[in-house]
């Protein structure tokens, strides 16, 4: 090999090495320090996935009533006797079922109908709503 060929080969290797390390540095900086717009986009997407609470007013037998506020995986009940109860959503074959961990309090909701059972007895029965609003 002559000197000219070795110089060209060496120059080519140096150029490829510089491009490789420059590209590596650029990618590393972008992955470790994302720009503010990308961060804001993620935040906006996460916020838009949050469920808006839905409120429903139920009229029940014996002049009782329940106001239910449904959120992601729970319901907050305001009962006509003044109590407030928050229950987590649980497995249901039909409709929506919310209960305490030991099932001592269970709120069922299917369509416009609902009921509340406490310690195995129906405490709020034949509940119906004609309005659901956000």
> How far, in Å, CA of 35 to CA of 78, rounded?
45
pLDDT digits (tens, 9 = 90+) for 42-64: 333 444 455 789 999 999 999 99
Nearest to 132 by CA among 51, 68, 71, 55: 55
pLDDT tens column, 88-117: 999 888 889 999 999 999 999 999 999 999
pLDDT band at 37 (very low <50, low <70, confident <90, very high): very low
């Amino acid at each position: 090999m002559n000197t000219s060929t070795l110089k060209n080969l060496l120059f080519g290797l140096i150029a490829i090495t510089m491009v490789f390390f420059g590209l590596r540095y650029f990618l590393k900086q972008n992955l470790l320090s994302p720009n503010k717009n990308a961060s804001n986009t993620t935040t906006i997407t996460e916020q838009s996935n949050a469920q808006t609470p839905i409120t429903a007013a139920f009229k029940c037998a014996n002049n009782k009533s329940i106001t239910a506020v449904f959120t992601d995986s729970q319901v907050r009940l305001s009962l006509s006797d003044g109590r407030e109860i928050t229950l987590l959503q649980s497995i249901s074959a039909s409709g929506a079922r919310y209960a305490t961990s030991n099932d001592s309090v269970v709120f069922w909701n299917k369509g416009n109908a609902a009921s509340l059972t406490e310690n195995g007895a129906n405490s709020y029965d034949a509940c119906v709503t004609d309005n659901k609003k956000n």
